[in-house]
Structure formats: structure tokens, C-alpha cells
Chain A
Amino acid sequence: MAQAVPAGGAIPSATPAATSSGDLGAPLYIAWQVTNECDLACLHCIEESGPGKAFRDELSDSQAFAFLEQVALEQVPYMSFSGGEPTLHPRFFEMAAYLCERQTQLKIETNAHTLTSEGCERLKRAGVKAVQVSLDGATRETFNRMRVRGDFDRALAGIGHLRSGGVPIEINYSPTRFNAHEIGRAVDLAFELGAESFYTGRTMYTGNAVKTWHRLAPSEDQYVEFFATLHAKATEYAGRMRVHFHEMGLLEELRYRLRHPAALLIVLPNGLVKLINALPFVCGDLRRQSLGEVWANFQRAWQDPRVSQFVEDLAADPRRTATLHQWVFL
């Protein structure tokens, strides 16, 4: 008789990001950047999103729904809508409901500024799995410094609407040199706000962060203290709120992924599909290819020598992540 084991056997790991994709008939997770438009212009945004930054060739409504239909047909169990700010998409609520009705679990990643009581009730009715809110600070001062055009109180109000509406809440936190010291209080705040999970990791040198790195980059000493606090908080909140964090550096993670390609696709607002967010490689175009075709090409693309070469080049020059938006088609 078989056992359900999280490790060993044909699929040797425990998360979609670490699961060997080659054995699977379809992705386990699709992260769709619904639009590059955003109401904020955050200092660290890896997507260079902001007001007026929507791609000119973002998926049309019919293309977007056709894509979601394929997600359902391929039985992709899990999907996230991010951006930019996904709630700014004019069909956001309809797309969320459409996907949930077809049994794919959906997570929304948002800055929460546009969330209203009515909107949160719609998300609850649709049955979204969770809404993850970016809250990079335990204080108004640090949050507003990081999230240009953003407002701490509006983010908290949005989270309050989620809580009132009974929508599961998750919090995401990007560390910088001016907010890393607040991590303990931020975890406490997340719990007070009713979050079920808290996510963080190292902030990446790409997107807007390339221009602002001198103001953002935490020191290694700060990271040591940051992760030590997180270890303590994970223990403190065990059984009450999950505290997830990735200590692994980007290079280490990419080398791991070369051996174990993730079972997830990153879909850009225009339907192009990236191998992984931290690499510039594009392995498909959902405007011209089916999800199945893209998935097959995804498997091949990870074996392309240009991918491993890029990762090794990063070892010599970590700042090559500044070029992640200069897409390379495989």
C-alpha cells in the first residue's frame, strides 16, 4: 500500500516551487501578473509597475478568459493574481469568480488600497483562498516611505474590510535598510490584523530597486538580525499564524532550481510566460500557444544552456538581475 509522503519517490519535494516539474502533466501553480498598472510606485517594485505602467499589449478580456478556461481544463490546482495591482483590472472580480467556480484555488496579491467592504464580500462569495496584502512596515512612517503614493491607513482599512468580510488574510513584507528592524512588530501587527500567514524573504535587486538600491539594500548584519527575529516569531506564533521566510540567497536558489525546475509558471500581463521571476527567460506566449504547449516548452527551456550560463554569470556579477526585464526568448 502506498504512503502519501512529502518527500522521496517520483516527486522529491514539498512545494510547487521545488517540485520536479518534469513528471507532471501541467503546472501546479500559475502566478499571473494580471496588469502592470498600479496605483502606487513602490521603491522596490520588481515589476517596475506604477501609474500609467500598464503594458500596451496586455491580454484582452477574451484572451484573459480563454487563458483561465485552460487553467481550469488542465486542472491547475492553484493560481495567484498579482500585478501591478490586480484589483485595478476592470474585470478583476469577474475573473476571480470565474476561476473559483472552476475549482482552482485563488490567491490575490494586492496593496489593499482599493479594497472596499463590498469588494471583500464579493471575494468571500467567490471563494478566494486568501488575499495577500503587502505591508512593509509596522509604522506609517516606514510604510509610506517604501510605498510611494501609498498610505498605511488605507492599507489597514483594506485589511479591515477583508477581516470583516471573512476573507482569509496573508501579509507580505519586503525588507529594506529602513524597515528591517521593524520585522518583529510587523509580525505582531499581522497577527493582530487577523492574518493566517506572514511571508518574507530577501528583497531583489531588480525593477525599481535597481534605481533605489542605495536607499534600500539591507546590510548582511541587518539580515542576520532580521532572520533571527523571524525564527523566534515563527516559534512564538506556531499553531496560530504561519510565519514563512526564505533565507536562501538568489544565486543559491537559482542553482537549486536548475536541478529542480519549479512546477509553476509566471505569466506576464501580455501572456508571455517566464521560467521564473528571477530570470529573464521567456518560454511561451499564451496569445499564440496553448497552456499545454507552453508547459512542454517550459520543460525544454530549463535545459537550455543559456539559462545555466546566466545563473553562473550571476555568481560573478550579482547585479545582472538588473536585466531581468530584458526578456530572452527560448
Chain B
Amino acid sequence: MKLARYVKFREEKFGGVLFETRSEKVFALNPTASAIVREIAGESCDQPTLIARLAARFSGSSGVIESEIAAFVGDLRSRGLLED
């Protein structure tokens, strides 16, 4: 997966923003969400790879991290912000 063609990501002091330039919608991200999107924006990867990378960086049970990342990625997909 990767950011959709018309989606731009920028880090900010509060976390980051995703900007979908076709609909001209802005999505505010807190630091955790921003860390996930940074991984996706940096290099195209599949979901298991993303989870593995982030699990190595965040503390918490692997099950919780996996389910929360899956939910977040699902949210991004439903908004058209990610593509394969």
C-alpha cells in the first residue's frame, strides 16, 4: 500500500497533516498517526510489513498494535487516502 496519488503528507509540530488535493480535504494527525503515515509515505509496503515495522518501534502487546494499525489503515482506505 501507499498514499493515494493525490494525497500529500507533511509533518507538523502537533503530528502531521494529510492533504487530499482533489477534494481539497485536510486530515489532522496526532503524533502516533503521523508515525504510521510516515512509514507508509516513505516506502510502499503491505500491511504485515507495516505492522512489523511499527511493532518494533512502539511498546504494547503485538495483538493490540496489530488491531489498532489495521483499524487506522482501514480508516485511511475508506477515505480514499491509500491505494495499492
B25 at the interface (CB under 8 A from A): yes
A292 at the interface (CB under 8 A from B): no
Evaluate contact between B27 and A4: CB separation under 8 angstroms.
Answer: yes
Contacts of A262-318 to chain B: CB distance below 8 A: 263
Contacts of B23-81 to chain A: CB distance below 8 A: 23-34, 37, 68-69, 71-72, 75-76, 79, 81
How far does the alpha carbon of A23 sit from the alpha carbon of B30 in the complex, in Å?
12
- B17 contacts across to A, CB distance below 8 A: 11, 24, 28
How far does the alpha carbon of A6 sit from the alpha carbon of B22 in the complex, in Å?
15
Evaluate contact between B33 and A14: CB separation under 8 angstroms.
Answer: no
Main secondary structure of the interface of A (DSSP, over half): loop
How far does the alpha carbon of A77 sit from the alpha carbon of B9 in the complex, in Å?
8
Classify chain A's interface size: 20 to 34
How far does the alpha carbon of A89 sit from the alpha carbon of B30 in the complex, in Å?
41
Evaluate contact between B25 and A14: CB separation under 8 angstroms.
Answer: yes
How far does the alpha carbon of A316 sit from the alpha carbon of B14 in the complex, in Å?
40
Evaluate contact between B26 and A13: CB separation under 8 angstroms.
Answer: yes
How far does the alpha carbon of A196 sit from the alpha carbon of B22 in the complex, in Å?
9
Contacts of A107-149 to chain B: CB distance below 8 A: 107, 129-130
A229 at the interface (CB under 8 A from B): no
- A130 contacts across to B, CB distance below 8 A: 22
- A8 contacts across to B, CB distance below 8 A: 28
Report the nearest B residue to A168, measured CB to CB. Answer: B22
Evaluate contact between A2 and B19: CB separation under 8 angstroms.
Answer: no
- The residue in A13, A15, A77 that gathers the most chain B C-beta atoms within 10 A of its C-beta is A77
A51 at the interface (CB under 8 A from B): no
Evaluate contact between A263 and B28: CB separation under 8 angstroms.
Answer: no
Evaluate contact between B12 and A2: CB separation under 8 angstroms.
Answer: no
Evaluate contact between B19 and A16: CB separation under 8 angstroms.
Answer: yes
Least distance between A295 CB and chain B CB atoms (Å): 13
Chain B positions within 8 Å of A, measured between CB atoms, are 6, 8, 10, 12-15, 17-19, 21-34, 37, 68-69, 71-72, 75-76, 79, 81
